[in-house]
Amino acid sequence: MVFKLFCRLAVVALFCSSASTLFAADAYPARPIRLIVGLAPGGTQDLIARTASRQVAAQMGQNFVIDNRDGATGIIATDLVAKAAPDGYTLLHASSDFVINTLMHRNLPYDIYRDFAPVTIVAHGVGYLMLVHPGVVAQNVKEFVALAKKPESRLSFGSGGIGNNLHLAGELFNMRAGTRLVHVPYKGGAPAVNALIAGEIQSLFVPPTPTVLQQLKTGRLRALAFTGTRRWALLPEVPTMVEGGVTDFVYTGAWHGWLAPAKTPKEIIARLQAETQKAMQEARVREPLIAAGYEPAGSSSADFVRIIKSDAQKTAELMRVAGVKQE
């Protein structure tokens, strides 16, 4: 009798637990969701995070609160989410820096494979623009390379932080072109663009965001090349890097995706993924992402996991070729 009673109680407990989880998922979200972005406002991450979350919020009936926690190339923001409650109310908007950081730094306070539940890839990059300050006399890539190779050259390139995609693009350029541009890191892509406009640095590899395009139109910046596999449709006059004379240089840039803390209920992950995938079909989302040089996605969680693992292998090889050392 005691054993039968124990079994019945166990079944009831299991049923209640399952029902509680399902109820929580059905009621989700019951309050605003905090989306933590690891770089300063105004950059590409911020633009994509706000564009995607605005539509997902409209669909789910709850606000997304963007929380910019810049510093340490996204490590601070990533650690915050790793330690957050796994209830679906704290998410991370990450880019490929999420993977790069784990290859760049030996002692991170989190593990990207253990401490996170990938939700979805929001968008994939299609390439970067190589920008220069108008004061740089080179009018194309070949002239820029020749200028950079002069013994007295003091040319530099900026990035959004040590080890991020903008940094790796610049180091890969050094490797392929045989130059020695000095790397100058900033706290995000937007500050790096401002530094280029101010003449603090002479070059920068960056996604073609609306802000960048506006600066090109006003003549405050100049584009020498595009790093994608083909010319970018919105700037067809700008040649690819390969056309510019630097062979074996194709760099499509970062993916952007959402991750939740590990142990977040699968039902909540599935809801977020489905809503994001739906949002990626809306013109109000697609148009600004495409205009910024990104292809809207909304991939499954399983695909996101595979992309993270594949990206880690490719990035490790790129770091080796570019001579970027782990710190």
Look at residue 176 and tell me if it is in a domain.
yes
State how far the alpha carbon of 283 is from the alpha carbons of 139, 172, 218, 290, 304, in Å.
Answer: 36, 35, 27, 10, 23
Look at residue 5 and tell me if it is in a domain.
no
Q: What is the pLDDT along the chain (327 residues), one digit of tens a residue?
A: 444 544 454 444 444 444 444 445 568 999 999 999 998 888 788 999 999 999 999 999 999 999 999 888 889 999 999 999 999 999 999 999 899 999 989 899 999 999 999 999 999 999 999 999 999 999 999 999 999 999 999 999 999 887 788 999 999 999 999 999 999 999 888 899 999 999 999 999 998 988 899 999 999 999 999 999 999 989 999 999 999 999 889 998 889 999 999 999 999 999 999 999 999 999 999 999 998 889 999 999 999 999 999 999 988 988 887 777 787
CA 114 to chain centre: 20
What pTM was computed for the model?
0.78
* Domain match, 212 and 159 both: yes
* Domain match, 135 and 221 both: yes
Supply the pLDDT for residue 163: 76
* Domain match, 116 and 137 both: no
Supply the pLDDT for residue 72: 83
Look at residue 151 and tell me if it is in a domain.
yes
Contact 30, 89 (CB under 8 A): no
* Domain match, 112 and 258 both: yes
Look at residue 58 and tell me if it is in a domain.
yes
H/E stretch holding 225 reads: strand 222-226
Supply the pLDDT for residue 16: 47
* Domain match, 116 and 148 both: no
Contact 156, 184 (CB under 8 A): yes
Supply the pLDDT for residue 40: 83
The set of residues, in sequence order, having a beta carbon less than 8 Å from that of 84 and lying 6+ positions away, is 90, 261
Supply the pLDDT for residue 165: 86
Residue count (the chain): 327
Domain containing 268 equals: 32-125+254-322
* Domain match, 173 and 222 both: yes
CATH number reported for the structural domain that contains residue 282 in this entry: 3.40.190.150
Closest CA to 78 of 94, 58, 62: 94
* Domain match, 142 and 207 both: yes
Supply the pLDDT for residue 8: 53
Phi-psi region of 256 (alpha: psi -120 to 50; beta: other; left: phi over 0): beta
Secondary structure, 3-state, 25-56: HHHCCCCCEEEEECCCCCCHHHHHHHHHHHHH
* Domain match, 120 and 269 both: yes
Look at residue 196 and tell me if it is in a domain.
yes
Q: How many structural domains is the chain composed of?
A: 2
Look at residue 13 and tell me if it is in a domain.
no
CA–CA gap between residue 45 and residue 62 (Å, rounded): 21
Look at residue 14 and tell me if it is in a domain.
no
CA–CA gap between residue 203 and residue 205 (Å, rounded): 7
